[in-house]
Amino acid sequence: MPEQSPLIIDVAATTLSADDRRRLAHPLVGGLTLFTRNWESRAQLVDLVAEIKALRADLLVCVDHEGGRVQRFRSDGFTHLPPMRALGRMWMQDGRKGEGSGAMRALNAATATGYVLGAELRACGVDLSFTPVLDLDHGSSGVVGDRALHRDPRVVAALARALMHGLRQAGMANCGKHFPGHGFAAADSHVDLPVDERSLKAILADDAAPYPWLRSALASVMPAHVVYPRVDARPAGFSRRWLQDILRERLGFDGAIFSDDLSMEGARRLAGQPLGYADAALAALAAGCDMVLLCNQSLGEGRGLDELIDGLERALQQGHWQPDGAGEERRLALLPQTPPLPWDELMLQPAYMAALEQLA
């Protein structure tokens, strides 16, 4: 048995197939990411997560659920959360006074957003949402766009800390993304490999500034599929320089590190050569990731997921990859430590009702 379960995969539908169960039971698999295709209703989602946890209680059930255009579950009682940019705009103006007058209202709204987001997901059994976005709003990245809280890293850090406090009140950990910053590069790493030509000094003073400020509150971090050639020729998610030398050693981060989705175009080549899924996973793990995501590959016959699992198992057997017990501890630390409130009980909680009022 390996000492680490670093693979975060996906499933194809609203119930588990035999192939899903086989993959999720594999000891190298540590969790999965849910998508809109896995959603039909709250009752169905509760049943799906229960089925997953019955296979292995330690599986980490994740979702990209930020608010705005990145919110996987939007019906059957789920609150429609605003894009994160709305919190930044609230900070700047409360409609009554000058610039910055809405700071306290925005902080309260960010905490309420985190609480509602986390409590509703947890009521359905979901363990972790990949939020908050810490990218700065430079206005140049369409894929980031209104997902960013603000242009000023100080405002981003303050609002993100408040949002993470709300998540923690709901019993959910957090994931800051996309280190060291995806907001400056214009290209979309889903379909291209973005490049950011700035110096390390410039990046650390601006886009990456929230990470050391938040290091005591950040439970996990997801690096960007972006190349910063004045720092390293490899994308940040494949770079020991970024993940070990800078994020861990220089900035002092000691939480978990997820790769971003390895099926994205920004993760499909390294040093000019095409990467298979298993090779991409091995490169990310060697760089310092504790967990690697491969999304949307369960569709059809799921060959991509089988390639990933079989490739990592083969690398383990041949001694090309060694499990990291500390990485496994960091994965397990992201699991909620308290049972969630069932949905009907959550709806009656004064704290939940008060949070909804903050969002109105």
- 67 contacts: CB under 8 Å, gap ≥ 6: 81, 82, 83, 84, 113, 117, 131
Q: How far apart are the first and last CA of the chain?
A: 50
Question: Among residues 125, 129, 62, which one has the least CA distance to residue 294?
Answer: 62
Query: Annotated catalytic residue: which of 19, 138, 165, 190?
Result: 190
Query: Could you identify the residue written with the tokens 């035999």?
Result: 18
Q: Residue 310, Cα to own-chain centre: how many angstroms?
A: 25
Query: Annotated catalytic residue: which of 10, 232, 260, 324?
Result: 260
Between CA 139 and CA 147, with CA 142 as vertex, the angle to 5 degrees is 80
Give the containing element (helix H, strand E) for 24.
Answer: helix 18-24
The dihedral region occupied by 277, where left means phi > 0, alpha psi between -120 and 50, and beta the remainder, is alpha
Query: How does DSSP classify residue 232?
Result: E
Going from the C-alpha of 4 to that of each of 42, 102, 257, 273, 302, the distances in angstroms are 32, 45, 14, 28, 23
Known catalytic residue at 260: yes
The values of phi and psi at residue 224, to 5°, are -85, 145
Known catalytic residue at 138: no
- Active-site residues, by number, are 190, 260
